[in-house]
Structure 1
């Protein structure tokens, strides 16, 4: 029997001889290198390195894993470079790097370290690059030239303003968070000719023109408090749009190829609209009405539409204030909301203007919503729905009569509906589920609609 090495004798119990866990057979070590590399891709590189003490079989496995992840950057630069010196894989499939604000005393030292790691990845034809940079960093010119890069994720509170020509000729997916973007972002787009998916989270940008990005099909945008007050989006080639929080009066230009959309605003936007007239120039209230009307018009050709509670509240306000609703081509509608009074008029109006609707999916969300009382003040106090739906939080446990009223509301405002699925999650107990099932069965037969409770 092979004597344990010094490294093996000091390894944790179980790691010294993993075979005893499998009845004397080391099943994991017998796996091909490709599978072991895949397993190691789920852990940070410093953890992957520790497997080298398990046995001779494992001693050099980590050296060829095509995935590197440096999440504990507080380790010395020397040890990281020593790690890279032992790395023998000809190609890096993915590199993840996390650098916080306390990793280095000097900004220049931090930048040099990031540069060296990125250069190393580029020299190994990296395909997936993920950078989380929590402090100041300037993206060097070499960063923008990488023909092998297919997926790039950057979370950095710094400017991404290339002064050079961008050459990301294989890039298919780009995800940016907290980045400051200006007119030079056009270089990124023009230098990414096969880009298909663009995600912008908490990025500062006032105009996004994707007219020349003919391959982009998916656009995902979330704004924050630091975003500009106005943002204009032109994306004639996208098929999918996810747009969250248009507090800054986001406007959509040409989105003529759009067939699927996920639209919502953050929780306080409906409240902000409701109190505009009281606090500022009344014309700003008109701005919101125009914005809502324009957005609805841009969604006319969408066949799969997902909306959240805050957007439904915005629709309720728009309906009360006379904003005209266009006829929509929605065939599948997903409602992510809870059953409360302020969302009801918006839901009804949406259904009434979707004459081709076939399926509705309802997903119950959290009850809490700070805009509820403000929105209710803007609604018709004589509306009989006040007697049916609660004006505050809905339910922790599904009340059969309330859910039944909601189902009837949906059925009443549709004529072509074929399927209704209600995902009530943990709100259903055994007795309520049985009672609701009977109600759903009755309504299903009466209206010739398949009703499913989950």
Structure 2
């Protein structure tokens, strides 16, 4: 690592032993953890500290801690920031990162917007590479995405979080060739704005994330370079999403809808990860087989305005058929079973995670899903909080069937021949214990079984389970605390 360019003698009045022997890069990294108020105090400690504060390529501005301050304190803070930015411009300090956390409802006065716009322009002029804006507006107030960002050739990453307001995309577009990561939210798209044309103008864009999209009825993504796309919308007005991207590898969709006809079209022949959460659409079309798909995650609710969605769910299942890893919610598995879509052949599936979002009977949906998993090697069944999931009532029949060992034996499940690991959370003791015993007895290659016990388990039950364990199988029982510490259930974050 390079040593500081400017050395100080021991006799220098401004000598500071803490920083004199450290490279500038290391000191700048340390300074990046300081708030602006602390940075202003440090700048008056010595000449060396002042120079380091000015030359720091990472600038983090925030007025969040000034919300309850008086006008005099805010004025002194603004003056310090203005002087600091002026000195940085004077010394031509190239900015690598610029982070702005700013509340426009914190009593800063009407001049805040002009002041912030000036700072942003300075950042662009000094060749900033990464910008992170976390803004607090009055509810529903727009933030016009600065045109200087869209035309900034040095910019590589841009993230704008508008809080209770929303980011307003411009109607015109610029060919910003070097932007690689763009994260915006909430996003309000004005009528007449061709968002597909706007985004396709970023020829180097690799990662795109749009949160809480609203304002338009149809959206088409045709960017030639995007590899990761994340979309989230809660707006009933948006009816059609079309994704036609040759290089797309990771697709994450969160689309909830209460009414109206919705359609989703996908052409992504190189897709490797596909996660979809929210409401099922009325029309779904995958224009080409996802032959490269490795990971899939599904948590969809049944559209209440339709009597049947079997044809839609069949298409969805066929599009993820080649996945090697599947994370799926219990509620969606139940919907698939009720619609007559299960069993379904997942011929490549090796990793299966089923997340439980209710306390109903999981046996019939899970068994129907497992019938089509001939090559399964790793099975995880966990109970998750219902917060954030589709509200699907578990109404599978209870008490009409006997799910003892004999039931599981009669299913002739083929995946037990190569199953290697199991992680299972005990919630309904009787049914799940029978499944545990069945797997311990019949899984010929089983190496490890981890069982999470959310409440104390009797020694008799433990003894009964261990009777079925093979000598080569490691059987581990964990309490809730141990589970939290050890993270044995690797449930996908999306599901």
**Which of the five TM-score ranges fits, normalised by the shorter chain?**
0.7 to 0.9
Partners of 2:319 and 2:144 lie apart in 1 by 38
CA deviation after TM superposition for structure 1 residue 37, in Å: 0.8
* RMSD (Å) for aligned C-alpha atoms: 4.4
| 2-structure distance, mates of 1:338, 1:433 | 28
TM-score (norm 2): 0.67
Instruction: Call closer, same or farther: CA 1:344–1:145 in 2, change over 3 Å.
Output: farther
Distance 2:189 2:166 in 1: 9
Structure 1 distance, partners of 2:438, 2:475, is 14
Deviation of the 1:316 alpha carbon: 0.3
Partner of 1:151: 157
3-state SS of paired residue (2:341):
coil
Q: Distance in 2 between matches of 1:367 and 1:350?
A: 21
User: Over residues 42-61 of structure 1, what are the superposed CA-to-partner deviations in whole Å (9 max), with x where a residue is unaligned?
Assistant: 33333333222444442321
Determine the structure 1 residue equivalent to 2:307: 285
1:138 and 2:155 matched: no
Residue in structure 2 matched with residue 45 of structure 1 by the alignment = 36
Q: Give CA-to-partner distance per residue, 1:9-38, whole Å, 9 cap, x none.
A: xxxxxxxx9xxxxxxxx5666321101111
Q: Match for residue 121 of structure 1?
A: 123
Q: CA deviation at 1:296?
A: 2.4
* Matching residue of 2:200: 190
- State the partner residue of 2:231: 221
1:23 maps to none
Query: Equivalents in 2 of 1:433, 1:39: separation in Å?
Result: 53
Please give the secondary structure, in 2, of the residue aligned with 1:292. Answer: helix
Shift of 1:92: 1.0
Change (3 A) 1:57 1:348: farther
Task: Give a deviation string over 1:230-279, Cα, whole Å, max 9, x none.
Answer: 3424254322223335446563422432222334339xx999748x3xxx
How far, CA to CA, are the matches of 1:48 and 1:441 in structure 2? Answer: 65
Label 1:375 to 1:94 Cα distance change in 2 as closer, same or farther (>3 A). same
Distance 1:34 1:355, change over 3 A: same
* Match of residue 391 from structure 1: none
Q: Structure 1's 451 and 231: CA in aligned 2 closer, same or farther, altered over 3 A?
A: farther
Match among 55, 80, 83 for residue 64 of structure 1: 55
Partner residue in 1 for 2:341: 323
SS at match of 2:166: coil
Residue of structure 2 equivalent to 1:297? 318
CA displacement at 1:116 relative to structure 2: 1.0
2:48 and 2:145 mapped to 1: Cα distance? 40
Q: How much has 1:148 moved relative to structure 2?
A: 1.4
Please, which moves more after superposition, 402-411 or 77-86? 402-411
The DSSP-based 3-state class of the residue aligned with 1:376 is coil
Of residues 250, 256, 259 in structure 1, which corresponds to 2:272?
259
CA contact (8 A) 2:144 2:170 kept: no
2:378 alignment counterpart: 359
Partners of 1:144 and 1:163 lie apart in 2 by 12
Which structure shows the higher strand fraction? 2
Partners of 1:345 and 1:60 lie apart in 2 by: 69
As a proportion of its length, which structure holds more helix? 1
1:155/1:179 contact within 8 Å kept: no
Match of 1:335 among 328, 333, 354: 354
Offset of residue 123 of structure 1: 0.9
Q: Secondary structure at the match of 1:384?
A: coil
TM-score (norm 1): 0.72
2:189 — aligned with what?
181
Asked whether the 8 Å contact 2:277–2:299 carries over to 1, the reply is no
> Which secondary structure state, in structure 2, belongs to the residue aligned with residue 297 of structure 1?
helix
Q: Per-residue displacement from partner, 1:205-236 (whole Å, max 9, x unpaired)?
A: 6544333x233222223333x45453424254
- Preserved CA contact (<8 Å) 2:450 2:476: yes
Deviation at 1:145, TM superposition (A): 0.6
Deviation at 1:363, TM superposition (A): 4.9
Q: Specify the alignment match of 2:27 in structure 1.
A: 36
Shift of 1:39: 1.8
CA shift, 1:442, in A, is 4.3
